[in-house]
Amino acid sequence: MIRRRFSILWSGLLTLVLGFTVLWTLFPIYWMLSTSLKENLDVFKLPPDLWPLHPTLINYFNLSNGITPIWTFFINSVITSLGTVVIAVALATFAGYALSRLRFRFRKSILIGVLVTQMFPLVVLLIPLYLFYVRSHLLNTYFGLILAYTSFTLPFGIWMIKGFVDTVPVEIEEAAMVDGCTRLQAMRQIVFPLIIPGVVATAVFAFLDAWNNLLFPLTLVNDVTMKTLPPGMILAFGGEFKHDWGGMMAASTIVTIPVIIGFVLIQRYLVEGLTGGAVKG
């Protein structure tokens, strides 16, 4: 490919833009980590220390020993997020396959319908859902939360999986069926193994989406021991501990770590998948 020659001015501008971008992107994350490792006295110091001069894990220990059961929240988050992943991915795999491969009535309407559900403000669904949960005793249950999370992970998953099945050539499947496979066998033995990376990516997305959600657990859970991390943080830092910045940043770090791990797992896939082939029309 051709490359223009870089003039000094142009290189300078480029460096400036990239430098600003990296600083703007990474500084807040660094600041979160750095603050979480500072003693309380240092957090309130002006001018602030750029890095913790007396690094300590005290904020993390305080979270564990404090009045807010952060590890209970953590476990609740893990259970509900994983539960959501299992249900959403299982259902979405079947539906996504059918929408990609089979011809039937209302196929297009269902596809558009599923897409449009992504546009609703979740808060509108939440009011009837809350009343329904009160009546059917689903408040404060894992199942209730998982079901609620499905309202955004399932439509998303269906479209993702459908997209991945679309990329598998029909001919492979036809060949298998000519050789005597039933459709379901072809789906299980031929298509499914080929879309496993896509299924994994969908699962990670669903996990992160459930993990990050604040609105649903905030309203559908009022028992402290059933809260997930986001409403747990509101509980911990909403009132008198509002200015416990060190503790707050430590909790933020704990919430963020699984997300970063998930991101690293799918990152290559995300960037290259999207920039590589996806949008080339």
Partner 1 sequence: MYKQNWRAFLVASNLDRVKKAGRAGYQPGASPKIAAMLIAPSLVVMGVIILYPLLNSLWLSLFNYQLTRPDAFAFTLTQNYLRVIHDDTFWIAFKNTTVFTFFTVVISLVLGLIMALAIDQLPKRFTSLRGIILVPWVIPGIVVGYLFMYMFDVEVGIFNYVLQKLHVIQQFLPWLMNGDLAMIAIIVAHVWNQAPFYMLMFTAGLKAIPEDVKEAAYVEGASRWQEFWHVTMPHLKGILVITSLLMVIRNFNNFPIIFTMTGGGPVYTTTTSVIYIYRLAFEQYDMGYASAVGIIWVIVLLILSIFYVRALQKDF
102 binds partner 1 per the rule CB under 8 A: yes
Count, residues near partner 1 per rule CB under 8 A: 121
How far apart CA 164 and CA 22 sit, in angstroms, is: 33
Give residues 69-88 in contact with partner 1 (rule: CB under 8 A): 87
SS3 31: helix
Q: Are 161 and 202 in contact (CB under 8 A)?
A: yes
123 binds partner 1 per the rule CB under 8 A: yes
41 binds partner 1 per the rule CB under 8 A: no
Candidates 30-38, 51-59, 61-69, 188-196; binding stretch for partner 1 (CB under 8 A): 30-38
* Alpha-carbon separation of residue 119 from 122, 185, 187 (angstroms): 9, 36, 31
Q: Are 133 and 220 in contact (CB under 8 A)?
A: yes
* Alpha-carbon separation of residue 216 from 161, 222, 238 (angstroms): 25, 11, 17
CA 171 to chain centre: 34
Q: How far is the CB of 21 from partner 1 (least distance, A)?
A: 5
Of 152, 199, 203, 227, which one interacts with partner 1 (CB under 8 A)?
152
Of 5, 65, 67, 105, which one interacts with partner 1 (CB under 8 A)?
105
185 binds partner 1 per the rule CB under 8 A: no
Candidates 51-59, 61-69, 106-114, 188-196; binding stretch for partner 1 (CB under 8 A): 106-114
40 binds partner 1 per the rule CB under 8 A: no
